[in-house]
Amino acid sequence: MKTLSKIEIFLGVVILSLFVVVFILASKGGNIGASNLTDLEVEGALTVGGDARVSLVSTGSVTAFTTSTSVTAAQLCDSSVFTVTSLPASSTLTLPTTSTLFADCLTTNGDSISVSIWNLGTVSTTVMAAGTGGTLAVSSSTIIYAADGAVLDVFRDSATTYKALLTNYPN
């Protein structure tokens, strides 16, 4: 009977350990790694195979308006919610011009942003209007009625124009 050297014993233990690890992974469906990632950063493309559950939280601020005004590019680009309270008269929110909007956040054709708009008034309406270089399309109306809301999606469609879609929430 041959006596095994220390290196042969070491290699045998390593190989046996690998078999154990492979067995455990196979019994768990081959899934290794963290199941709850935090602070994941990806540059370039991200490809996911199989089933994936992703929950994204859009950060931003709430910007409050109390009168008719031109919305600045910074307000539109940095906010996720607009609230409007204008009593007793209605108010108009005019979107930014292409030059300021494109300099702030819609820097490339195809870029887009979205903001929820809530009319907190009890009797007044909010009217949306496009700024210079923009086109506003609507699902039903440019008006957001009192105690109602809408979503505004804005996307850059060329080097000089943007399209905005106002989708009113159903009553």
What percent of the chain has a predicted confidence (pLDDT) above 70?
A: 68
Number of domains in the chain: 2
Better pLDDT: 22 or 70? 70
Contact 150, 167 (CB under 8 A): yes
Residue 23 lies in a domain: yes
Query: Per the domain annotation, does 162 fall within a domain?
Result: yes
pTM: 0.68
- Whether residues 7 and 77 fall in one domain: no
Tokens encoding 3: 């006596």
Predicted local distance difference test score (pLDDT) of residue 162: 96
The answer to whether residue 66 sits within a structural domain is yes
Find the mean pLDDT for residues 34-46: 64
Domain containing 23 equals 1-30
- Rg of the chain over CA atoms, in angstroms? 28
Q: Could you tell me if 22 and 89 lie in one domain?
A: no
Q: Categorize the per-residue pLDDT at 169 as very low, low, confident or very high, splitting at 50, 70 and 90.
A: confident
Q: What are phi and psi of 140, to 5 degrees?
A: -145, -35
CB 71 within 8 Å of CB 117: no
What does pLDDT average to over the chain?
A: 82
Is 118 within the bounds of a domain? yes
Distances from the Cα of 31 to the Cα of 23, 50, 119, angstroms? 12, 11, 48
**pLDDT at position 96 over 90:** yes
Q: Are residues 123 and 162 in the same domain?
A: yes
Beta strands in the chain (DSSP E): 61-65, 69-70, 79-84, 91-94, 112-119, 126-129, 134-138, 143-144, 148-156, 162-168
| 55-78 residue pLDDT tens | 666 678 999 999 899 999 999 999
Which of 7-16, 62-71, 150-159 shows the lowest mean pLDDT across its residues? 7-16
Of 132, 126, 130, 158, nearest to 144 (Cα)?
126
The whole-number average pLDDT for the span 148-170 is 94
Task: Decide which of 7 and 20 is more confident.
Answer: 7
106-153 pLDDT tens trace: 999 999 999 999 999 888 899 999 999 999 998 888 999 989 999 999
Q: Which residue has the higher pLDDT, 1 or 96?
A: 96
